[in-house]
Chains A and B, each alone.
Chain A
Amino acid sequence: MVTKPIRVLIAKVGLDGHDRGAKIIAKALADTGMEVIYTGIRQTPEQVVSTAIQEDVDIIGLSSLSGGHEALFPRVVELLKARGSNIRVIGGGIIPPEDASKLKKQGIAEIFGPGTPTKEIVRFIKGACQEPVRDEESKMLKQIDHIGIAVRDLEKSLDKYAELYGAKATHTEVMESLSISIAFIPVGEVLLELLQPLAPGKGRIGEFLEKYGEGFHHIAYRVDNLDRVLAKMKENGIKLRDDKPRPGADNTRIAFISPEETGNVLTELVESKKL
């Protein structure tokens, strides 16, 4: 499995010019294969955050030897939050232990004092940067887009939903290419997608009904960028039913993952163009 190198921004915040430590860390991290950007000295928190976002880094290492950490480190965390970024922040320099624990409470993931072996910092960054990947993956799924249910007779089913719950379809569509006609019933932010084959036994839904009868067919998660998600899955060797996004109902782009990858739950990924 090919993994992307961890990207690190080493930044000197404040007016302090002592960057021997920052440079050693930068070089040590680069030597382990990370992609390291060093900002140079005298950066404002605003500049650091802009650079970090622009350079798409996984983690920021802040350094201050002038006592500026008290105000400047938390400010970086604040600004990142304000811009909706989940880039981790670690710090180092001349930082009394009392301040270190305070900074951790303010959202700095870890403080490394003078004399910390670089290996320890490397280990921490590797650990911390795997988590954001998991984070990203859980955030990859923005929400449940819809739940697909296979039905033999769309009209009848819609009547049943109306009778049971007073629920109505807001959108119906015939998709000739897939030999289905579908109807969407909104439930909160999630849609129920009722799927009926255009003729008995026709298309995937037809086959499904013949094999299993009516019932739950698939779950669809909404993603922001389907191309990127598919690329990542391919990179990780996940089997896909659709290698490339294809047009879905209601002006969306979709792709299915092979059910054997998802515990036999047929899973669809949806990218809505109306985001």
Chain B
Amino acid sequence: MEKIFQTDSAIEVKPLYTPEDMVEAGFDHSRDLGSPGRYPFTRGKDSTGYRKNPWIMYQYAGFGSAEETNKRYHFLLDHGETGLSVAIDLPTQIGYDSDNPLASGEVGKVGVPISSLQDAEVLFKGIPLDRPRQISATFNSNAPIWLAMMIVLAEKQGISPQKIGVRIQNDILKEYIARGTYIFPSAPSVSMATDVIAYCAEHHPNWFPLTACGYHIREAGANAAQEIAFTLANAIAYIDDTVRKGVKPEKFISKIPVFFSCGMDFFEEIAKFRTMRRLWSRTMKERYHIDDPNLLSLNLVVFTAGSALTAQQPMNNIVRVAVQTLASAIGGCQNLHTCSMDEAYCTPTEEAVKLALRTQQIIAHETGIVRTIDPLGGSYFIESLSNKLEEIAKNYLREIDETGGAVKATESGYFQRQISKSAYELNRQIEEKERIVVGVNEYVDDTGLPIEILKVDPGLERKQIDSVRALKKERDNVKVKQALRELKRVAEIRENIVPPCIEAVRAYATVGEICDVLREVYGEYTGASHF
């Protein structure tokens, strides 16, 4: 039997692409490509590319405590990081203070614990909020709280919000689908997410209130076409809900970036980024009848694929990340996070994270990538692949529309089933050596572990717990109670909860306390467990 060559998304590829393939695909230059900065934005978000500025360089960081993490932020900014990406620990992400028994053993493990504004203040000590080009954070189920913290913190630092680039993840649907840090049932959760959008549209129109995430869906096992389609479907759900709240799509649609993974299938990933920009602008134009093409250009956030990292021969990961960085830049991303080589073992060490940042800097400054926009535009192969991806993604989108949209598809487990299927198939291919992963199923050698592992000081959890307890005693508890009562009232009448969240945060109410009030009003989501 002849060997079939296919991409990660199971798209069969030919040994050679020629102008005939373009004709066959019905490729139309002005319709499908156009110019960078022009509809449909296949070739790039703006007309200047990276000439003015390379992409924003991020390293996802947070561990131990706000104090430890603050040191890491200073270190990264001093070494040339231009975006600050706040990794939040799991208890905070699911609305538990560090002193909650359910948080035990998880405080400060995968991110920084932020139980209250006090922790956020320590986190940004000596870092004016306008120093990085952008600040992002992984708040999803309780994103209004982070928005409130950024607002109050900006006030306290005396910096105009206009000068700050805030980007919040705030994508709860993918938490049910892939990542798991949900708290509340889907309906109130989506409403909280769109409260953030609505509030920012009115008060902070330059901020990015929600990042539609395909990354986690891909990491959970989806392929590139599913990543495109599911992300877009989720974004549509948020936009629809925001519009239902009376906010015009023109007011916020350009402030919803897409957050994608970049895996090892070099050409498919490049095609994916281009396809996403094009399908995004086409979809938004058609669905929301937006006339101003400037509002249709997608802001693309990329993170190199954690799932591509191997625990075996971890140094190999440096090479993988470099390749992914190059693909992301060729694909024209606006922001890029690079993984550190030790992440199949732990939160990165200082050395490893610096190397990941240097990887971005080397690609940006030494390869010439910043000189020319969309260098692979017009490639027979890339354009054919882009068109094919768009076609498959549209089919998925149609399926999701037929099931009643992303919220319904999430509730019915449609996404989860699709992802599990792809994940299992990928794993099968690796186990049967149809796909080679160096050091894992080929070129295996057991030379031990030559890298250093970051150990989070276990004493930090104790310290953090004590600090939360002390805060709960020392603050003005009358004010806290008042603020929480007001939050409850607003949540009950289903009005925008951001304003009362701001007051609660200002009074140093904790994330746990705020979420407890909302749990009372909204109830809790209990997960499903199909495999």
Contact = CB atoms under 8 A, between A and B. Distances in A.
A41 B449 contact: no
Nearest to B104: A71
Contacts of A23: 420, 423-424, 531
Contacts of B441: 117
Nearest to B343: A94
Given A24-B424, A71-B104, A38 B109 contact: no
Contact of B219 (A20, A94, A118): A20
A42 B105 CA distance: 13
A23 B180 CA distance: 14
Given A20-B423, A94-B344, A115-B310, A67 B106 contact: yes
A182 interface: no
Contacts of A38: 529-531
Interface in B412-464: 420, 423-424, 427, 431, 437, 440-441, 449, 453, 456
B4 to A, nearest CB: 23
B527 interface: yes
Interface residues of A, number: 39
Contacts of A68: 105-106, 109
B330 interface: no
A197 interface: no
Given A15-B102, A66-B90, A113 B531 contact: no
Contact of B179 (A14, A18, A67, A94): A18
B346 interface: yes
Contacts of A27: 420, 424, 531
B221 interface: yes
Q: Chain B interface secondary structure, helix, strand, loop or mixed?
A: loop
Nearest to B90: A15
B355 interface: no
B220 to A, nearest CB: 5
A97 interface: yes
Interface string A19-58: 1101110111010000010111110100000000000000
B160 to A, nearest CB: 36
Contacts of A40: 527-529
A210 to B, nearest CB: 66
B9 interface: no
A96 B456 contact: no
A12 to B, nearest CB: 8
Interface of A: 10, 14-20, 22-24, 26-28, 30, 36, 38-42, 44, 66-68, 70-72, 94-98, 113-115, 117-119
26 contacts: A15-B90, A15-B91, A15-B103, A15-B181, A16-B110, A20-B220, A23-B420, A23-B423, A24-B427, A27-B424, A28-B427, A30-B531, A41-B527, A42-B180, A44-B102, A66-B110, A67-B109, A67-B456, A70-B105, A71-B105, A96-B346, A96-B453, A98-B453, A114-B311, A115-B440, A119-B431
Given A24-B424, A40-B527, A118-B427, 20 more contacts: A15-B96, A15-B103, A17-B178, A18-B220, A22-B531, A24-B221, A24-B427, A27-B420, A28-B427, A38-B530, A40-B529, A41-B529, A42-B180, A66-B106, A70-B105, A71-B105, A72-B105, A113-B311, A114-B311, A114-B344
